Structure 1
Amino acid sequence: MRVAVVTVGDELLSGDTVNTNAAWLCEQLTDRGVDVARVTTIPDDVGEIARVVNEYRAEYDAVLVTGGLGPTHDDVTMEGVAAAVGRDVEPHDAAHEWLTEEGGYAAADLVDGTTHLPAGARMLPNEAGVAPGAVVESIYVLPGVPEEMKAMFEHVAEEFAGEETHTAVVAVDEPESELVDRLADLQERFDVAVGSYPGDAVRVKLIATDEGELAAATEWLEARVELVDEDVATENASSE
């Protein structure tokens, strides 16, 4: 399963808000064996939301959109998603019923537009806030507030699945540039995906669908690199 993640918000593009939602969603999806093929941040603009979502829904199995839900002037994500699939935004009976019966809100207290979703959408309850989410075709629309987004994702998590993968990390005490040939050789010999991440040490991450293949690749690599001394690594971790 290949998906795209779209985060919406002018505040993300200006740097006023750190985009933690994208990182969290990517981690959750990857853990479920899903291939996150694209992460994109776009402004609170109906036309831009519609363009990007329409493009991605044609290319990927699912699109997850976070941010811009609610009845205020800059919450236009539902309108953009509706435009992407050629539908209108209209009052949603299930959203109204959930907010007034399960959410504990009086109908008179709901701001106009709170329960408006794309026509025919499946409503996703917001157990940590007010604005409901929605599923429209292969598009999942979640809130931008992290606590609300995480709680709502739990309602649809089981709908995202892929081939189970296994991971190993090798901490290498060598410059990343000196590992290029050995990592290329590793990928030629074994059916694994390889990533390297510099820092106090170079973390080489191996991912495979077969545990035996992963174990063999890890053993091969560890025999051909200078490993970080475990005692030193523990001391450094303790002093942080």
Structure 2
Amino acid sequence: MQVALLTVGDELLAGDIADTNAAWLAARLAERGVSVREILTLPDTVEVIAPRLGDLAERSDAVIVTGGVGGTPDDVTMDAIAAAFDAPLTTHPEARAGVERTLSKYDGDVDVDIEAWSALPEGSEAIPNEVGLSPGCRIESVYVLPGIPEEMKAMFGEIADAFDGDRVVRTIRSAEPESALVADLNRAIERFDVSVGSYPEDDGEEKRITVRGDSVEAVEAAIAWLDERV
């Protein structure tokens, strides 16, 4: 299974906020054997998001979109989803119920346009938000989640079972300089038909060597072979 991640927000492109959502999602998907084929960050602009989303959906088994969901002026992701799928935004009963339920927990009156906050592309399935105000949705192979990390993480739990792949990942560590690893890493790639990467650890002393492949036997064999050499 190959998935693309699309994060939306002018604040991400300006460096005002670090894009931790993409890293977190990529790690969770890898744990489920899913391969993330690409990660893309786009501004809060419908005319930019809609065509790029359509392209991602065509080339991936699924797309997860985070950010730009809600009822504030810069929240245009649902508009872009609607444009990409030619599915007008309509008030979704389940999404509206969730918004009203969340508002009922607030102290005092909160001036919220419930219709705007609960509008989803026609024909989509609502993804409930038990942590915050903004509902998500699924339309065909595209899953849309809020950008607030706590909400996104909780809502991913609602859809996690939709993501299941055969990608296998194993890791070992080596104190050898990266230049000394090159020959053996290349031999492992050729010998076992796997992909291999070397990444410096935070302490700067060890290297993390990660082997990825679609066969448990091939990945385990490559790890064992490398472990004897590096």
TM-score higher than 0.5: yes
How many angstroms apart in 1 are the aligned matches of 2:223 and 2:141? 37
Partner of 2:224: 219
How many angstroms apart in 2 are the aligned matches of 1:99 and 1:163? 37
Partner of 1:105: 104
Change in CA separation of 1:104 and 1:175 when aligned onto 2, cut-off 3 Å: same
What per-residue deviation string (whole Å, max 9, x for no partner) do you get for residues 67-98 of structure 1? 01111110000000110111111211221123
How many angstroms apart in 2 are the aligned matches of 1:154 and 1:63? 16
Partner of 1:197: 199
Structure 1 position 177, deviation (Å) = 2.2
Q: State the AA in 2 paired with 1:103.
A: T
What per-residue deviation string (whole Å, max 9, x for no partner) do you get for residues 25-62 of structure 1? 00011111111001001000111110111111111111
8 Å contact from structure 2 (residues 103, 110) kept in 1:
no
Q: State the AA in 2 paired with 1:105.
A: S
Q: State the AA in 1 paired with 2:31.
A: D
Change in CA separation of 1:204 and 1:113 when aligned onto 2, cut-off 3 Å: same
8 Å contact from structure 2 (residues 34, 163) kept in 1:
yes
Partner of 1:39: 39
How many angstroms apart in 1 are the aligned matches of 2:220 and 2:124? 45
How many angstroms apart in 2 are the aligned matches of 1:211 and 1:138? 27
Change in CA separation of 1:113 and 1:104 when aligned onto 2, cut-off 3 Å: closer
Q: State the AA in 2 paired with 1:12.
A: L
How many angstroms apart in 2 are the aligned matches of 1:164 and 1:61? 14
Structure 1 position 105, deviation (Å) = 3.1
Partner of 2:186: 184
Structure 1 position 217, deviation (Å) = 2.2
Partner of 1:236: none
How many angstroms apart in 2 are the aligned matches of 1:214 and 1:122? 38
1:146 aligns with 2:149: yes
SS at match of 1:128: coil
Change in CA separation of 1:187 and 1:24 when aligned onto 2, cut-off 3 Å: same
Structure 1 position 211, deviation (Å) = 4.2
What per-residue deviation string (whole Å, max 9, x for no partner) do you get for residues 176-221 of structure 1? 1232221111112224321111232222112344444434322322
Aligned structure 1 segments of 4 or more residues deviating by more than 6 angstroms: none
Q: How many residue pairs align between the two structures?
A: 223
Q: State the AA in 1 paired with 2:93.
A: D
How many angstroms apart in 2 are the aligned matches of 1:144 and 1:46? 16
SS at match of 2:117: coil
Partner of 2:8: 8
8 Å contact from structure 1 (residues 168, 214) kept in 2:
no
Partner of 2:168: 165
Partner of 2:56: 56
8 Å contact from structure 1 (residues 166, 210) kept in 2:
no
Unaligned runs of 5+ in 2: none
Partner of 1:127: 130
How many angstroms apart in 2 are the aligned matches of 1:148 and 1:221? 40
What's the C-alpha RMSD, in Å, of the aligned pairs?
2.0
How many angstroms apart in 2 are the aligned matches of 1:45 and 1:180? 43
Unaligned runs of 5+ in 1: 226-240
How many angstroms apart in 2 are the aligned matches of 1:166 and 1:174? 21
> What's the % identity of the aligned pairs?
45
